Amino acid sequence: MPCQKDQELKKHVEYAKQFTKEGKVATYIPELGKANPNDLSIAIHFPDGRCISAGDITKKFTLQSISKVVALAYVLMDRGFDYVFERVGMEPTGDPFNSIVRLETMDVAKPLNPMINAGALVVTHMIDGETVEERLQKLLTFTRELAGNEQIDFNPSVAASEFETANLNRALCYFLKQHQIITEDVETLIDLYTKQCAIEMNCLDLARIGLVFAMNGVDPETGKQIMPDGVARICKTFMVTCGMYNASGEFAIKIGIPAKSGVSGGIMGAVPGRLGIGIFGPALDEKGNSVAGMKLLEHLSKSYQLSMF
C-alpha cells in the first residue's frame, strides 16, 4: 500500500521545521556536511498496513548510529544473550556517543552499552564471517528483511568519508584490543563499522523497521517473526535508556518513545504495539540528535499520547 501524504502530519512538520534553524549538520564525517539543514520529513507505519507521511520522504540518508540497534539485534540472534553481554554492558552512561573516558575508569574495559561507539564497535566485531563483504552482507540481508525492501544498500562515499576520518573510533578500538575485548585487525573492523553506519534508506524504510521492533519482532505484513520477541524487547529497552545518548533521560520524560538517533539526522521510533516512526532532519543539536526531529516527536507524543510511561 503506498504511503499517504497526511495534512495533519504536515502541520506538525511545519511547526517543527522552524527548529531546524537551531541546529547544524554534522561535518566531522565530511560527506554528511552536504545535507540540507532545512530538510524535515516523517513516515509512520501502522500494524494494519496503513502508512502516513509528510515532507520529502524519497530522500535517502545513512543510518549512522541507528544501525547500532540493527547490528545488536543481529548479534543477539546469532550469538545469544550471554556471549553478547559478556562483552558489552547494559548501563547508560550520560556521556557523549564517542566518549572514551569510561573505558579507562572502569575496572574492566568492557564498554557500558551497545549504543555508544565503544559498545557498538564491539557489537560489529561480533558479526561473524571470513571477510568484511560477507559480514556486511549478513547485516544488509537482515536490514532488508526488517524494512521489507530488497534495494537497501550502503552508501560507499559516506563510508569512505567516515573511514578516512574515524580516528577517534580507531582509538576506541585500539584501547579495546589492548584489553582483548576485540581481537581482530582494527582497520578491518573500522572498514565494516563505517559501511554498517553508511547503510542508506528513506523514512519509509526506517518507519517499517521501527514497526517491526514495536510489534515485538513480527513483520506485520507477513506475520513472520523476524527476530525473537526477547531480542526486540532488549533493543527497545536500550533505545529508551541509551538511544538518544546523554539526552535519553530528558527524551524519556518529554517524549517517552523508544527511539534511536543518528548523526545523519535520522530518528527511528517504535511505539510498542502501535506504530513505527522514521524521521529525517539533518540539522543536529549539540548532542548529535536531530533538533527538529526531536521537536516533532515531542509534539506528536503530546498530541497523540504516544508516551509509554
Binding site for ligand DON (CB under 6 A): 64-65, 97-98, 117, 162, 169, 197, 261-263, 288
Closest contact distance (angstroms) between CB of 64 and ligand DON is 3
Positions marked active-site: 65, 68, 193, 245, 263
Closest contact distance (angstroms) between CB of 215 and ligand DON is 25
Closest contact distance (angstroms) between CB of 218 and ligand DON is 27
Closest contact distance (angstroms) between CB of 126 and ligand DON is 17
Q: Closer to ligand DON at the Cβ: 117 or 248?
A: 117
Q: Closer to ligand DON at the Cβ: 64 or 93?
A: 64
Q: Closer to ligand DON at the Cβ: 281 or 288?
A: 288
CB 56 within 8 A of CB 41: yes
The 10 Å Cβ neighbour count of residue 119 is 27
- How far is Cα 92 from Cα 67, in angstroms, rounded to an integer? 18
What does residue 244 show for φ and ψ, rounded to 5 degrees?
-115, 25
**Going by DSSP bridges, is the β-strand pair 41-45/275-280 parallel, antiparallel, or unpaired?**
antiparallel
Closest contact distance (angstroms) between CB of 261 and ligand DON is 5
Q: Closer to ligand DON at the Cβ: 199 or 234?
A: 199
- How far is Cα 115 from Cα 65, in angstroms, rounded to an integer? 7
Helix boundaries (H) for the chain: 7-17, 67-79, 81-87, 101-105, 117-125, 132-147, 156-165, 167-178, 186-197, 203-214, 229-242, 248-254, 291-304
Exposure string for 59-73, b = 16+ CB within 10 A, e = fewer: eebbbbbbbbbbbbb
**Cell digits of residue 187:** 582497520
CB 115 within 8 A of CB 238: yes
Q: Closer to ligand DON at the Cβ: 162 or 200?
A: 162
In degrees, rounded to 5, the angle at the alpha carbon of residue 219 between the alpha carbons of residues 156 and 289 is 50
